[in-house]
Copies of this chain bind each other. A is one copy, B any other.
Amino acid sequence: MSCLSAVAVASSASSVLANGSPTPVAAVVAKKGASAARIADKIAQCEREGKLFFSFEYFPPKTDTGVSNLYERVERMAAYEPLFCDMTWGAGGSTSDLTLELVGNIQQFLGLDVMMHLTCTNMPAGKVVMGLEGAKARGCRNILALRGDPPAGKEWSKCDDGFEHATDLVRFIREKFGDYFSIGVAGYPEGHPSGYLDGKLTLEQEMAFLKDKVDAGADFIITQMFYDVENFLQWVSSCRAAGINVPILPGILPIQNYGGFKRMTGFCKTMIPPAVEARMEELKDDEAAVKEYGITLGVEMCKRMIASKLVLGLHFYTLNLEKSVLSIVERLHLVPMTEAIRALPWRPSTASEKRRGTEDVRPIFWSNRPKSYIKRTSEWDNFPNGRWGVSESPAFGDISHHHLAGSGGVTPELKQAQLQMWGEPRSVADVEEVFVRFLEGNIKRLPWTESDVLSPETGTIQGPLKWLNKHGVLTINSQPRVNGAPSSDKCFGWGDKHGFVYQKAYLEFFASEKIVDALFAHASAFPSLSMYAARADLSAPIRSNVSDTRSSRANAVTWGVFPDAELVQPTVVDPTAFKAWREEAFDIWTQVWASCTPDSSPARQVLQQIHDTYYLINIVDNDYVAGDIFRIFTSIFSEL
């Protein structure tokens, strides 16, 4: 909360550089369909379903690289299905802009519901309205209303035309925005830290303040961090006795290291149970042991609170770090790690339902570039409404090689990092080598992939994919065939329980004209394959072995069958969308890869040559029951 965010921001520079642990759960995404939701409603639903939830708090990093890293971290952590995440408020001009930008992008591109913090510090009513309107415009429907820390080095005082108490802010939001926002407020189980107010308040006075905030319209309470669980539980009972009946979420800050722990608890005057104090002194020189103890302690604290039945969910102060928090969540078994919990094979944006309806189908082409897809379709009035074929194929927006960093864009550091990954190829063979090394896990990402997590299903066809790339078939997207895997399958599963999921095998790659000619020459011997091949030159016709009557149709390549439901077919190969994708895909050779190599270097020439002469090809094997999409290449390679 107020105290916390100050500390958190102070530690941001180091925290974002700390090494996260990319667990292999990138595929494990949203269980529920996507739509910006009010946290109060989501908590109520969890309560009805008896489901314990958790949430993650972040703060705006100080550097562009930090921002870029945070997006990736949030995306990985989103796979654990927190109920929401929240972003602290940077009261300074550019920091508050960054808060809004982070809130909007996480809501829209990462498919998480976001709560934006808002403080009274240095915030006249006009600025508050701008913050709220900014949140609303970005699809965010949740505000944590705080008084905030005093300006650095000063006593707290309200600014001109500003608010004195969080209560005033809550009331203002309700007056101006009605029920649009779900509003949270802060609770202090150990009392308001002295120094903020003149002397300590009595428990009764504190309760009265808190009740005022709730009566003014707050939907739930998130507490200041603490380590004394028994004190917290007693405080919750006091709240209930005082007639405060909204959900109370305990704020948990896992201990990450000795120094930070001492600074923070000292600054916030946090009560430390003697056993914790003793153990920390014992371990203080062993960094790894401290970290592990932080996790164990967090798990114990949570277990005790869960057992008390006084909490509906747990709120974690992540300090923009991922490992400790995720370990606690895992050890509490709050995430079913052995079963798929994806609602769809891809993660829908939460920001769009109102304007564009429910999104339930996407072209496969962008499956490694979901953010680009969301961006390029953001102006659509409607998704193709479940059946791709029925709606006219909407126009795709401009290609943008965004990095979600907004203010930062493609920084020189980013270009440098990319150059390091992909190198300066001096020949086509060097380029092939990059693709092979990517499949071997030796390169984090290709220019065509937005995230550095290789989808687990790619692993199942890694051997054949490497073989293709070594022969000049430069794969950028693929999926194996699946003939009715359980929907709970950890690798391929998605959707409701007790269903079955299916995939047609898919391959997408760049290749030379020689290879493409050979493919089409052999196509008739492989009648279950459907191929489309296009060059960068937009005036060159798209080549296909699919008959004219069929070639305008979308081909469903991923679908699922579930109890008591219609079939769902969330991924298609859509020949019309392919035209938009092809531009983007070719563009990446020059605008992304070549542009991080030195001007007029040999690498630029090689990449430009591939851009100009190669084809982009996609192949679907319609025989998902017994087909082998790789077999055609055996014939081809033996001839070339």
Flag whether A463 is at the interface (Cβ < 8 A): no
* Residue in A483, A563, A624 whose Cβ sees the most chain B Cβ within 10 Å: A563
Flag whether A622 is at the interface (Cβ < 8 A): yes
Known: A386-B390, A622-B498, A625-B500. A556 touches B563 (CB 8 A): no
- The smallest C-beta distance from A570 to any residue of chain B, in angstroms, reads 11
Q: Which residues of B contact A528 (CB under 8 A)?
A: 498, 563
* Contact pick for A389, options B388, B550, B561, B566, CB 8 Å: B566
Q: Which residue of B lies closest to A565 (CB)?
A: B553
* Contact pick for A622, options B390, B483, B564, CB 8 Å: B564
- The smallest C-beta distance from A96 to any residue of chain B, in angstroms, reads 40
A-B contact pairs, 28 of them (CB 8 A): A385-B387, A385-B390, A386-B386, A386-B387, A386-B390, A387-B387, A483-B484, A484-B625, A498-B527, A498-B528, A498-B622, A498-B623, A528-B563, A530-B564, A546-B564, A550-B564, A550-B565, A553-B564, A553-B566, A554-B566, A555-B565, A556-B561, A559-B567, A561-B624, A562-B622, A564-B622, A566-B569, A567-B567
Nearest 10 CB-CB pairings of A with B: A563-B622, A550-B564, A386-B387, A556-B566, A555-B564, A567-B569, A556-B567, A530-B564, A567-B567, A553-B565
**Alpha-carbon separation in the docked complex, A228 to B15 (Å):** 96
Known: A387-B387, A390-B385, A625-B484. A555 touches B550 (CB 8 A): no
Within 8 A of B (CB), among A259-282: none
Flag whether A502 is at the interface (Cβ < 8 A): yes
Flag whether A95 is at the interface (Cβ < 8 A): no
* Contact pick for A388, options B553, B559, B566, CB 8 Å: B566
**Alpha-carbon separation in the docked complex, A261 to B528 (Å):** 52
Q: Which residues of B contact A622 (CB under 8 A)?
A: 498, 562-564
**Alpha-carbon separation in the docked complex, A553 to B555 (Å):** 25
Q: Which residues of B contact A554 (CB under 8 A)?
A: 565-566
Q: Which residue of B lies closest to A575 (CB)?
A: B564
**Alpha-carbon separation in the docked complex, A390 to B358 (Å):** 10
Flag whether A85 is at the interface (Cβ < 8 A): no
Q: Which residues of B contact A295 (CB under 8 A)?
A: none
Other than the given A484-B625, A556-B567, A562-B622, 18 more pairs (CB < 8 A) read: A386-B390, A388-B566, A484-B484, A498-B527, A498-B623, A502-B561, A530-B563, A546-B564, A550-B563, A550-B564, A553-B564, A555-B565, A556-B561, A556-B566, A559-B561, A561-B624, A564-B620, A566-B572
| Number of chain A interface residues as a range | 35 or more
Q: Which residues of B contact A527 (CB under 8 A)?
A: 498
Within 8 A of B (CB), among A533-551: 546, 550-551
Chain A facing B: main interface SS: loop
Contact B565 A556 (CB under 8 A): yes
- The smallest C-beta distance from A44 to any residue of chain B, in angstroms, reads 15
Q: Which residues of B contact A498 (CB under 8 A)?
A: 527-528, 622-623
- Interface residues of chain A, those whose CB is within 8 Å of chain B, are 385-390, 483-484, 498, 500, 502, 527-528, 530, 546, 550-551, 553-556, 559, 561-567, 569, 572, 620, 622-625
**Alpha-carbon separation in the docked complex, A633 to B265 (Å):** 66
Q: Which residues of B contact A502 (CB under 8 A)?
A: 561
**Alpha-carbon separation in the docked complex, A551 to B566 (Å):** 12
Contact A566 B387 (CB under 8 A): yes
* Residue in A387, A483, A530 whose Cβ sees the most chain B Cβ within 10 Å: A387
**Alpha-carbon separation in the docked complex, A290 to B361 (Å):** 62
Q: Which residue of B lies closest to A547 (CB)?
A: B564
- The smallest C-beta distance from A91 to any residue of chain B, in angstroms, reads 43
**Alpha-carbon separation in the docked complex, A546 to B496 (Å):** 14
**Alpha-carbon separation in the docked complex, A625 to B487 (Å):** 13
**Alpha-carbon separation in the docked complex, A565 to B564 (Å):** 24
Q: Which residues of B contact A390 (CB under 8 A)?
A: 385-386
**Alpha-carbon separation in the docked complex, A359 to B555 (Å):** 20
Contact B561 A555 (CB under 8 A): no
Q: Which residues of B contact A386 (CB under 8 A)?
A: 386-387, 390
Q: Which residue of B lies closest to A559 (CB)?
A: B567
**Alpha-carbon separation in the docked complex, A580 to B558 (Å):** 34
- The smallest C-beta distance from A382 to any residue of chain B, in angstroms, reads 12
**Alpha-carbon separation in the docked complex, A388 to B388 (Å):** 15
Q: Which residue of B lies closest to A390 (CB)?
A: B386
- The smallest C-beta distance from A496 to any residue of chain B, in angstroms, reads 9
- The smallest C-beta distance from A501 to any residue of chain B, in angstroms, reads 12
Q: Which residue of B lies closest to A544 (CB)?
A: B564
**Alpha-carbon separation in the docked complex, A563 to B546 (Å):** 10
Q: Which residue of B lies closest to A555 (CB)?
A: B564
- The smallest C-beta distance from A502 to any residue of chain B, in angstroms, reads 7
Q: Which residues of B contact A624 (CB under 8 A)?
A: 561
- The smallest C-beta distance from A527 to any residue of chain B, in angstroms, reads 8
Q: Which residue of B lies closest to A572 (CB)?
A: B566
Contact B559 A555 (CB under 8 A): no
**Alpha-carbon separation in the docked complex, A566 to B557 (Å):** 8
Q: Which residue of B lies closest to A562 (CB)?
A: B622
- The smallest C-beta distance from A576 to any residue of chain B, in angstroms, reads 13
Q: Which residue of B lies closest to A500 (CB)?
A: B625
Q: Which residues of B contact A550 (CB under 8 A)?
A: 563-565
Q: Which residues of B contact A555 (CB under 8 A)?
A: 563-566
